[in-house]
Amino acid sequence: MANATPTEPDKELEALLEKIDLQHVVLEFAFYHSESPQNYNAHFDAAYEFLDASHKRFQQHHATIDFDQYPLAKNHVFKWNPDELVGSRISFAEFWGSDDVAPTPLGDRAWSIPNVDGFKTAFFLPPYGLQKPGDRNASLFEQLKDCLFGDAQENDLVIYSWSNQCSGYFDAGLEWWGAFLWTIARPVTSTITLIGASSSD
């Protein structure tokens, strides 16, 4: 859309995201160029582009299904209602969520897992857990944080959280794990970073 157009990450960030994906992190990332990355309309267009592309991918896949073999798939509807796409400006603390990502032992082979309530827990607590070793995941997270936010002050980041009832993209996460879509712009750049998270078991 006019206020935000898809762009590719630089090679360093692209390589980092590939490493992160191999660890079974379920976050998705997309990047958009904008002449006005601090404005709501630019963030809206980025979120719209991402969800619209998800809808188009579903339609393409749906068209290839053999409904004689999988008759129930014919009834699967991927919702996409842009009129329900609404963003709310949030603080960095709301985006980040809890710092607590460590399971708490409850007894013999029993653990309490923190709730997924923001970016950090969504990174470290996917439905099936991350690949080990844990110190590698911590290192990748720190590298990702540096690539995305640089030396920007938390209060200088423009962050929007987007409604999760407008698209079938969120269906899996709404079952239990969590469904999130954030757009972020930092000062003195023309890039909006989109982070999506929607997963289940």
pLDDT band for position 74 (cuts 50, 70, 90): low
Model confidence at 23: pLDDT above 60? yes
Whole-number pLDDT of residue 188: 86
Asked whether the beta carbons of 172 and 198 are under 8 A apart, the reply is: yes
Give the model's confidence band at 130: pLDDT under 50 very low, under 70 low, under 90 confident, else very high.
confident
The two beta strands, 179-185 and 191-198, are: antiparallel
Q: How far apart are CA 89 and CA 2, in angstroms?
A: 21
Neighbouring residues of 61: CB distance < 8 A, sequence distance ≥ 6? none
Q: Are 195 and 27 in contact (CB under 8 A)?
A: yes
* Contact (Cβ atoms closer than 8 angstroms) between residue 195 and residue 120: no
pLDDT digits (tens, 9 = 90+) for 36-57: 999 999 999 999 999 999 988 8
* Share above pLDDT 90 across residues of the chain, in percent, rounded to a whole number: 64
Reported as a single tens digit per residue, the pLDDT across 79-90 is: 899 999 999 999
Q: Is the pLDDT of residue 102 over 80?
A: no
Question: For the chain, first and last CA: distance in Å?
Answer: 34
- Given a cut of 80, whether residue 172 has pLDDT beyond it is yes
Tell me if 23 sits within 8 A of 130, measured CB to CB.
Answer: yes
Mean pLDDT calculated for residue range 15-33: 96
Sign of CA dihedral 90, 173, 32, 141: positive
141-162 tens-digit pLDDT: 999 999 999 889 999 999 999 9
**Cα–Cα distance measured from residue 59 to residue 62, given in angstroms and rounded to the nearest whole number:** 5
Residue 30 pLDDT: 97
pLDDT at 72 > cutoff 60? no
Predicted structure pTM score: 0.90
Q: What is the mean pLDDT of the chain?
A: 88
Q: Exposure of 124 by Cβ count < 10 A (0-12 exposed, 13-18 middle, 19+ buried)?
A: buried
Distance CA 84, CA 2 (A): 20
